Structure 1
Amino acid sequence: MEPLDTFASPTASRPMLGLTVLVVEDSLYASEALRLLCLRSGARIRRADCLKSARRHLQVYRPSVAVVDLGLPDGSGAELIVELTRGGAKLGVVAAMSGDSGAEETAREAGAQCFFAKPLTSLAAFQAEILSHMPQEYRLSGPRALPSDPIEPDPVAYKDDMAHAAELLQEASDADMLAYLGQFLRGVAHCAGDDELVDAAEALEALRGKGPPLRSELARLAGLLQQRIGQRMAI
């Protein structure tokens, strides 16, 4: 784990100053929320959007904290959590994130010290959970006021995620791709409070379990994505 920057000691308003957080998250919208949480907390942030990218980052530097989404395009984030918690040089804190509350057990079994259910918008909860697992020398002593205002990611990031999902939908030619697309959409839409798209993603998952989705169902999903990115798409 990287030592604290001696020129950047934590303060009451920025209790994570001097820490570096590796965010392993494929959604731009969820990543933007974490970027704001880290920025408001004083921590530096690096982002990887898949397991391969995260492992490449970790060959070069060792962050203080890793926040790992469990649903990634090239595998489960639980694989990386196992590597980070049971390997050689361990990090200060390894946290898991997921839009599926039932995923916490998987995260804990892999070795995650804490679990964040999406959407994560509470700055106070983020700071408290991370700092509670840091070594004592990394913690700020004494009482401090806890921030109460929620984090609100830029909606442009959500539109970018929708555009990415539209590309995946056009290329979805096998069950694995459809499975990833369903969980990606469900997680992002849940973070944004987009209940209509959450329902569509869950419907896609249910149909996938019974066999290949109907063309009409894929067209419906394409239409919902079209509404959110403001452009025509073809299936």
Structure 2
Amino acid sequence: MRDMYSLKTPGSAASRRKCLLGITITLVEDSMSASEALRLMAVASGARLRRADRLLTAERHLSLYRPNVVIVDIGLPDGSGLELIAKMVGNSPRARPGLIALSGGDVEEWGPLARAAGADALLPKPVGDMLTFQTCVLSVLPVSEGRSINADSVPRVGSSSNLLTRSVKSDDISHALELIKGAETARNVDALTYAAQFVTSIAVMLEDASLQLDARVLLDASGFDGAVPDAIGHLKGQLQARLTKLQEAVG
């Protein structure tokens, strides 16, 4: 079930490199791949991270809890993460969490929009470097926290794709297929656009240039006429091929 859940992993305190110890993070992100990568980085840094997969779930959570930091993906199934960022700034401009905008693609395109909405920092996907993650989170915490990073003590982590299990990758690809099939059945252009954006996001996270290109073809198209049905069929085939490959590897 895709919903808010607590993300905690056991491990010794010594292995967590205390720079984010005691910090609570709410991550608003629909991709399991992106969420799992950030979860691992947060836990290794001593932070506690909870996830929401859409705006509605995030707003419910934030009405009950007050995390130190909120990381918001811009592209979400029920709207733009920019809406949530602007709402949080408007509701409590002073006593609010540090706000980090998260997205794939060209940060030069989405960065100014996120800043205008009120984001305190930008975190481009994929986030494959632990030091980048820690530095970004620390940058939105009050100066009075007095926290710092010893770069030599930061756990060495490979690229984001190497952090992810086959099951997490399969979950995202299965979900992408469901999104595309649902949009195709309903002939809903907005739903199809979101599905293509979701595929783009996981393709960037998994460093799959071919899949990213296929998703871009669909994003650049409009409506359900012309070559769009062929583009949809091709992308579904590519996703199914990758899903089958992952399932065979597990089996």
TM range (shorter): 0.7 to 0.9
Q: Within 5 Å, which residues of 2 pair with 1:107-118?
A: 107-118=114-125
Residue 230 of structure 1: SS of its match in structure 2? helix
Q: Is the 8 A contact 1:10 1:18 kept in 2?
A: no
Q: Distance in 2 between matches of 1:162 and 1:224?
A: 10
Work out which of the residue numbers 76, 95, 100 in structure 2 matches 1:95: 100
Q: Check if 1:204 corresponds to 2:218.
A: yes
What is the distance in 2 between the residues matched to 1:62 and 1:10? Answer: 27
Question: 3-state DSSP class of the match of 1:120?
Answer: coil
The alpha-carbon deviation at position 191 of structure 1 amounts to: 0.9
**Distance change (3 Å), C-alpha of 1:171 and 1:66:** same
* Structure 1 unaligned residues grouped into runs of 5+: 1-8
Displacement of 1:213 after TM fit? 4.8
1:141: Cα distance to partner? 5.3
Equivalent in the alignment of 1:182: 196
Report the 3-state secondary structure (helix = DSSP H, G, I; strand = E; otherwise coil) of the residue aligned with 1:42: coil
Partner of 2:19: 15
- Tell me the equivalent position of 1:149: 157
Aligned-pair CA distance for 1:60: 0.9
Cα separation, partners in 2 of 1:12 and 1:34, compared to 1, 3 Å = closer
- The CA distance in 2 between the partners of 1:115 and 1:140, in whole Å, is 20
**1:52-74 CA distance string (max 9 Å, x none):** 00001011111110000000000
The 8 Å contact of residues 26 and 48 in structure 1, kept in 2 or not, is answered as yes
Gaps of 5+ in 2: 1-12, 246-251
Q: RMSD between aligned alpha carbons?
A: 2.3
Which of residues 223, 236, 240 in structure 2 aligns to 1:222?
A: 236
2:87 aligns with 83
The 8 Å contact of residues 12 and 140 in structure 1, kept in 2 or not, is answered as: no
Superposition pairs for residues 10-89 of structure 1, below 5 Å? Answer: 13-88=17-92
- Normalising to structure 1: TM-score of the pair? 0.87
Could you tell me the percent identity over the aligned residues? 37
Equivalent position to 1:128, from 115, 123, 135: 135
CA distance in 2, matches of 1:108, 1:165: 29
In the alignment of these two chains, the number of paired residues is: 223
Q: What displacement does 1:114 show?
A: 0.6
Aligned to 1:170: 181
Q: Which residue of 1 aligns with 2:7?
A: none
The 8 Å contact of residues 214 and 235 in structure 2, kept in 1 or not, is answered as: yes
CA–CA separation in structure 2 for the residues paired with 1:105 and 1:179: 22
Deviation for aligned residue 1:196: 1.0
